[in-house]
């Protein structure tokens, strides 16, 4: 029996995760005894969990603002259900963005009109773009703050300037979108992109996003707060690993977003192994004398996030899944009070 290409890729990803953790174990960068000691710091883990819950609530509220702008007026609790379900699936599917695909599937499957399906999918795309842009802004701003306080290695300096370049290009594009007419934007895109159908689809998305620019600004502000809370979540995780740690919080404002960027790459289920390696390297770059392993630190925070996602998101999935799929004969998730 021949395996499908997708199955082979998944097997390869699992093998990659195995090699990564084998390396971490053999190099003494990942010790279970250190993780078990961290469990004694229950109060820090409790703060960590509260921060993760707060971040989930904020991202759900951000998505609700976008849904409202597209005419999907749903109670916050229903949007939170979908957000929790997305968090549940992203915890074990490849890449952190996989949860967005699950949210999109359930939302689109419950939308009868074709045009509404498009708007439902676009709201999720804009939600991801807003989150990415806010994370990019946080990395760039934190980079210039941190480099004035500590000496960053040349590699990290290049990464910071690369993110600055990306952010500059995006901001120039936003200025052009806001300043030019739709007709001129279409001409500009057609010059670089010869596929007429793709250009028309992109123009439609740009037009809808431009009409919602004030809402997008509010969503970016919410995202910045959410990313700050996420950095605080990792701060409490670091304190649980080493209560005597004196690593400044502002350093985490650049380390955590960069680590999360690495985890979003769909190389392994939930970014497992990739995130641990990224945080290991980043922590050594910003603080070579730190005694805490970045791999253990990332794994601890991830474990708390997984536990909450499995309990809350898993409950929502089991409780409401049949109602979502059986649209014709029972109320759907977005219709359930």
Per-residue model confidence as pLDDT tens digits over 197-206: 667 777 777 7
159: pLDDT strictly greater than 80: yes
Is residue 267 included in any domain, yes or no? yes
165: pLDDT strictly greater than 90: yes
State the pLDDT at residue 53: 94
State the pLDDT at residue 29: 85
CA–CA gap between residue 110 and residue 108 (Å, rounded): 5
323: pLDDT strictly greater than 60: no
State the pLDDT at residue 43: 92
* Residue whose entry in the numeric block shows the structure tokens 């392993």: 293
Name the more confident of 158 and 320: 158
pTM: 0.84
Name the more confident of 323 and 337: 323
Is residue 270 included in any domain, yes or no? yes
322: pLDDT strictly greater than 90: no
Is residue 26 included in any domain, yes or no? no
The token pair at 173 is 């594009």
Is residue 21 included in any domain, yes or no? no
SS3 94: strand
2: pLDDT strictly greater than 60: no
Nearest to 92 by CA among 218, 333, 268, 211: 268
CA–CA gap between residue 97 and residue 161 (Å, rounded): 25
- With bands split at pLDDT 50, 70 and 90, how would you rate the model's confidence at 111? low
Is residue 24 included in any domain, yes or no? no
State the pLDDT at residue 197: 64
The token pair at 67 is 């849904």
Alpha-carbon distances of 325 from 68, 87, 104, rounded to whole Å = 23, 19, 13
- With bands split at pLDDT 50, 70 and 90, how would you rate the model's confidence at 292? confident
CA–CA gap between residue 67 and residue 65 (Å, rounded): 5
Helix residue spans in 147-212 (DSSP H): 154-179, 182-192, 196-211
75: pLDDT strictly greater than 70: yes
Name the more confident of 5 and 266: 266
Is residue 27 included in any domain, yes or no? no
Alpha-carbon distances of 119 from 71, 72, 85, 334, rounded to whole Å = 9, 9, 20, 15
Kindly state the average pLDDT of the residues 89-94.
Answer: 68
Domain count for the chain: 1
State pLDDT tens for residues 195-236. Answer: 666 677 777 777 877 888 889 999 999 999 999 999 999 999
Is residue 297 included in any domain, yes or no? yes
84: pLDDT strictly greater than 90: no
State pLDDT tens for residues 243-290. Answer: 888 888 888 888 899 998 888 777 777 678 888 888 998 888 887 777
Is residue 15 included in any domain, yes or no? no
For residue 241, give its domain range.
32-332
CA–CA gap between residue 31 and residue 112 (Å, rounded): 51
């Amino acid at each position: 029996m021949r395996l499908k290409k997708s199955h082979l890729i998944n097997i390869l990803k699992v093998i990659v995760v195995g090699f990564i953790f084998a390396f971490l174990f053999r190099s003494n960068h990942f010790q279970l005894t250190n993780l078990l000691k961290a469990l004694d710091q229950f109060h820090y883990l409790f703060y960590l969990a509260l921060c993760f819950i707060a971040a989930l609530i904020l991202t759900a509220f951000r998505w609700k603002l976008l849904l409202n702008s597209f005419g999907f007026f749903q109670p916050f609790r229903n949007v939170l259900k979908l957000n929790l379900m997305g968090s549940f699936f992203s915890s074990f599917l490849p890449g952190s963005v996989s949860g967005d695909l699950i949210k999109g599937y359930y939302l689109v499957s419950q939308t009868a009109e074709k045009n509404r399906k498009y708007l439902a999918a676009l709201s999720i795309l804009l939600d991801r773009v807003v989150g990415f842009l806010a994370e990019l802004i946080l990395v760039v701003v934190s980079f210039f703050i941190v480099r004035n306080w500590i000496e960053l290695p040349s590699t990290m300096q290049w990464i910071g300037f690369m993110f600055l370049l990306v952010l500059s290009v995006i901001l120039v594009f936003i200025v052009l979108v806001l300043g030019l007419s739709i007709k001129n934007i279409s001409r500009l895109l057609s010059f670089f992109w010869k596929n007429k159908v793709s250009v028309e689809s992109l123009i439609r998305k740009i037009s809808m996003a431009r009409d919602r620019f004030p809402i997008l600004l509010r969503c970016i502000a919410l995202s910045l707060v959410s990313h700050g809370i996420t950095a605080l979540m990792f701060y409490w995780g670091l304190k649980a690993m080493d209560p005597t740690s004196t690593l400044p919080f502002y350093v985490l404002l650049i380390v955590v977003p960069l680590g999360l960027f690495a985890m979003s790459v769909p190389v392994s289920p939930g970014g497992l192994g990739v995130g641990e390696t990224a945080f290991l390297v980043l922590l050594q770059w910003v603080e070579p004398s730190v005694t805490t392993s970045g791999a253990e630190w990332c794994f601890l925070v991830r474990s708390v996030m997984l536990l909450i996602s499995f309990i809350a998101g898993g409950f929502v999935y089991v409780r409401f899944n049949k109602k979502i799929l059986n649209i014709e004969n029972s109320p759907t998730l977005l219709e359930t009070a």
